[in-house]
């Protein structure tokens, strides 16, 4: 049996890079990465895993390019067993009434965090139906939260979770799961610490500062290991669910 194939969006850094590394090094998977650019870290993985990693530069907001990239990956490896929808942005930060937060900036946010999911799923469904594969939506606690200053992100992740639930009902042969990775030590957290103070309440902002200072941010390679495992082995009982990576439902996928 050939090793499984997983497509990862937003794979050049942060959680996406950690997932890609875990799939290759710890789960013996083959991987198709989609990212706007190829970072030195991703390029190193390409050099180390030339037969198992296909890296495609692709802007997920370009519908045609995104669908073509997924088709190219499917043609290259001949199968798809998992799709990890990780590409995302936090911008724009700001209250709903912020005059500096234009409607166009909200639309760009939703193009990345929500609307890009649709062509990615559509392009992947034929192969995923055949493999009875998995779709892992990288969501957030913001999907059920209400942090002031995060309105686009809160709304976009809530919509993502709804899309995951609907996909689970429409495609019973495919496991569709939304996962919250927690506060992960990535560039997004660094950007939040540098720019969040002017947009968030003092109490909310302090939570993120304290998590960094106390060393309690999640290691991306720990959560990446869980996401990688779920993309290959998430059980049907989790389909349509929204879970945290460190909840009991994911225990069997934790690094031993």
Active-site positions read 139, 153, 157
Cα–Cα nearest to 130, from 94, 95, 173: 173
The 10 Å Cβ neighbour count of residue 1 is 3
Nearest to 72 by CA among 136, 4, 124: 124
Q: Are 47 and 24 in contact (CB under 8 A)?
A: no
| Look-up of token digits 């429409």 | 170
CB contact set of 203 (below 8 Å; sequence gap of 6+): none
Helix axis angle, 14-26 relative to 40-48, nearest 10°?
A: 10
Distance of alpha carbon 66 from alpha carbon 10, whole angstroms: 12
Burial of 159 (0-12, 13-18, 19+ CB in 10 A): middle
Compute the half-sphere exposure of residue 256: CA atoms within 13 Å on the CB side of its CA.
Answer: 3
Task: Report the distance separating Cα 35 and Cα 151, nearest Å.
Answer: 25
Q: Collapse the DSSP code of 243 into the 3-class scheme (helix H, G, I; strand E, B; otherwise coil) and give the result.
A: strand
How far is 88 from 111, CA to CA, in rounded Å? 9
């Amino acid at each position: 049996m050939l090793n499984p194939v997983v497509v990862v969006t937003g794979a050049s850094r942060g959680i996406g890079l950690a997932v890609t590394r875990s799939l290759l090094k710890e789960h013996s998977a083959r991987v198709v990465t989609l990212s706007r650019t190829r970072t030195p870290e991703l390029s190193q993985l390409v050099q180390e895993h030339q037969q198992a990693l296909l890296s495609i530069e692709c802007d997920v907001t370009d519908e045609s390019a995104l669908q073509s990239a997924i088709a190219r990956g499917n043609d290259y490896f001949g199968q798809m067993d998992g799709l990890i929808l990780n590409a995302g942005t936090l911008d724009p930060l700001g209250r709903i009434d912020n005059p500096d937060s234009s409607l166009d900036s909200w639309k760009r946010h939703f193009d990345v965090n929500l609307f890009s999911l649709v062509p990615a799923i559509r392009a992947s469904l034929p192969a995923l139906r055949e493999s009875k594969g998995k779709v892992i939506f990288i969501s957030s606690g913001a999907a059920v939260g209400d942090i002031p200053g995060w309105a686009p992100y809160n709304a976009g992740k809530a919509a993502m979770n709804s899309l995951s639930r609907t996909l689970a009902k429409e495609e019973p042969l495919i496991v569709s799961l939304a996962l919250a990775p927690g506060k992960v030590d990535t560039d997004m957290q660094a950007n939040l610490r540098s720019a969040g103070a002017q947009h968030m309440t003092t109490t909310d902002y302090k939570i993120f500062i304290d998590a960094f200072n106390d060393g309690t941010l999640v290691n991306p390679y720990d959560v990446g290991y869980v996401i990688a495992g779920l993309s290959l082995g998430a059980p049907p009982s989790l389909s349509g669910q929204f879970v945290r990576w460190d909840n009991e439902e994911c225990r069997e996928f934790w690094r031993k």
